[in-house]
Structure 1
Amino acid sequence: MIRVPGRILTVAGVPTHVVCEGEGPVCVLSGGLGMSWFDWDPVVPLLASHRTVVRFDRPGLGFSAPAPAQQVPTAAGEAHRILAVLDALGLSGPCTVVGHSLAGLHAEAFARLHPARTAGIVLVDTSVAEDVRAPALPAAPRAAAARLLAAGLGAAGVPRVLGRSARRVTVRAQTVRHRDPAPAALVRRCYSTTRVLRASLLENATYAGTAAEVLALRARRPLPDVPVTVLAAYGATDAPRQLRRLDRQRRLAAELNGAEFRIAAPAGHLVMMDDPAAVARAVLGESPAWDIAAGRT
């Protein structure tokens, strides 16, 4: 029997799994495409004595129920979801929003749409909305196709047979430690379901539209005057792809009000697993490791 931490709250009409721990100023941790609340487990102990740490599963992910069929993931919708989670918890003050990968777009949208509720932004190896155009095919039919694909794969038993292996392969490929720190029982319970597969396919199918939406927001909704940090993963190699990725993250930092640019190294895309201390330092506003080692503050 798996004990489910946290509670289920109705957020925007969806039963949503929410975990709230610690004390102090509020920060929200939101993971990338298809990720669950437990992917932040290595980071939370480093924050909980300094921050009230909020984690939640987007619709269909983790232990959250799927969204209604007419709902399609959007940047604005996910920004409003973060706000609704905070309101449901009775946390009415400003918070630091931490977004990893796809959720970095959600975090930026939150700050632009809800500036009074934003105390800071930390973008962890974030998706970069750069030269993205809205897809020619509207979001609704793309989402419908993703749901149909998930239904077909679910009926064939693919999630039950391959879901855990797909998760394991993905984590190993996107970390320098090449291991999944999540409890096997939780991975099995979540990633063996058609529900999580459907949610992941939906987020992937609507990614380009979400990125284009954030680009449009940049033109009309300025960021609030709060600390912004871009924390980029670097595997400590000179591979051209790695260097190009770093450069994109660096350019993003310059574009976002001259945000502070930091590097987590060695770390793969799943920075919270490879270098949780770097994430915690960015949230707490502490000096990067190289500054600490050099005696600078």
Structure 2
Amino acid sequence: MSERFVRIDGSAVHVRREGSGPVCVLSGGLGMSWFDWEPVVRLLAPHRTVLRFDRPGYGLSAPARPAPTAAGEAERIALLLDTLGLAGPCTMVGHSLAGFHVEAFARLHPVRTAGLVLVDASVEPRPRPRPAPGLRDQAARALAAAAGALALPYLLGPPGRRLVARASTACHADLAPESLVRRCYRPTRALRAALRENTSYLDQAAELAALRARHPLPAVPVTVLAADRARGTRSAARWLTRQRELAALLGGDFRIAAPAGHLVMYDRPDVVARAVLDCR
């Protein structure tokens, strides 16, 4: 296992590389850090070279100045692979919001994509960009700065992270080490990154819709993996329907992880790992 910081567009990006074999890249959802993939990495590392990284502001990565975009995150992944000397095609794995990013990567860098696994990925059937993206991004940054001045991230960041993780798993547990949660969620940069990604969410969804119209998906294996807590509610059924529709749109395989909350990598790491391994 190797761990390092790579400078991309002027910001230090934290990345971990472990295992051997064909390369797969793991990218977490909004607010997630590299260690959230740990249960999956343990299953993949004997068979794959696993690359996981923190987007700007998350985990141990420094903040970035530009507002987050789907294409920008796809380019960040490409530059990261270039810096690490990984030129061959990779299996791209995106959870939640990062589903936008890895699909954008596949469309913009088709020859570098060996497969696509979308883990309970974000879905917006008819997205429209919201007005004044620059002003909204400034507002998100200002709100984070005000919270930081009051020490709110330091006081509430770790318990807030724990609360969200427990609510997003079928096991109702946050498996991340307490020391890492404190280290990564006390700094204001994590809150700033989450607010910036949240305020740009619909813009990124609309951006991906435009990319779909201009850039075809390469002919590679695609798996859409949906979480199902087996609650039988209308909202749960609606979510699974949207995930099936995403799989149909991308011409991919649709699979269900159950019982699992949104953090599928905690509840069913075996299902996530199998989806990745089946790409080759």
Q: Which residue of 2 aligns with 1:23?
A: 20
**3-state SS, counterpart of residue 19 of structure 1:** strand
Tell me which of 116, 120, 141 is aligned to 1:121. Answer: 116
**3-state SS, counterpart of residue 181 of structure 1:** coil
1:220, distance to aligned residue in structure 2 (A) = 1.0
Give the number of equivalent residue pairs.
279
1:269 correspondence with 2:262: yes
Q: Which residue of 1 aligns with 2:178?
A: 184
Q: Aligned partner of 1:55: which letter?
A: R
For the 8 Å contact 2:141–2:195, the answer to whether it is kept is: yes
Structure 2 distance, partners of 1:16, 1:43, is 21
Structure 2 distance, partners of 1:250, 1:84, is 32
For the 8 Å contact 1:235–1:266, the answer to whether it is kept is: yes
Q: Which residue of 1 aligns with 2:275?
A: 282
1:86 correspondence with 2:81: yes
**3-state SS, counterpart of residue 118 of structure 2:** strand
Sequence identity of aligned pairs in percent? 63
For the 8 Å contact 2:226–2:240, the answer to whether it is kept is: yes
For the 8 Å contact 1:12–1:84, the answer to whether it is kept is: no
Unaligned runs of 5+ in 2: none
**3-state SS, counterpart of residue 114 of structure 2:** strand
4+ aligned runs moved over 6 Å, structure 1: none
**3-state SS, counterpart of residue 225 of structure 1:** coil
**3-state SS, counterpart of residue 39 of structure 2:** coil
Q: Which residue of 2 aligns with 1:12?
A: 9
1:45 correspondence with 2:38: no
- The TM-score normalised by the length of structure 2 is 0.98
1:161 correspondence with 2:158: no
Q: Aligned partner of 2:37: which letter?
A: W
Unaligned runs of 5+ in 1: 287-297
CA-atom RMSD, angstroms?
A: 1.1
Structure 1 distance, partners of 2:96, 2:203, is 15
For the 8 Å contact 2:2–2:17, the answer to whether it is kept is: no
Q: Aligned partner of 1:190: which letter?
A: C
Q: Aligned partner of 2:168: which letter?
A: Q
CA deviations over 1:83-127 (Å, ceiling 9, x no partner): 111111110100000000000000100000000100000000000
Structure 1 distance, partners of 2:134, 2:24, is 32
1:14, distance to aligned residue in structure 2 (A) = 1.1
Q: Which residue of 1 aligns with 2:92?
A: 97
1:130, distance to aligned residue in structure 2 (A) = 1.2
For the 8 Å contact 1:143–1:206, the answer to whether it is kept is: yes
CA deviations over 1:266-291 (Å, ceiling 9, x no partner): 000000010000000000018xxxxx
- The TM-score normalised by the length of structure 1 is 0.92
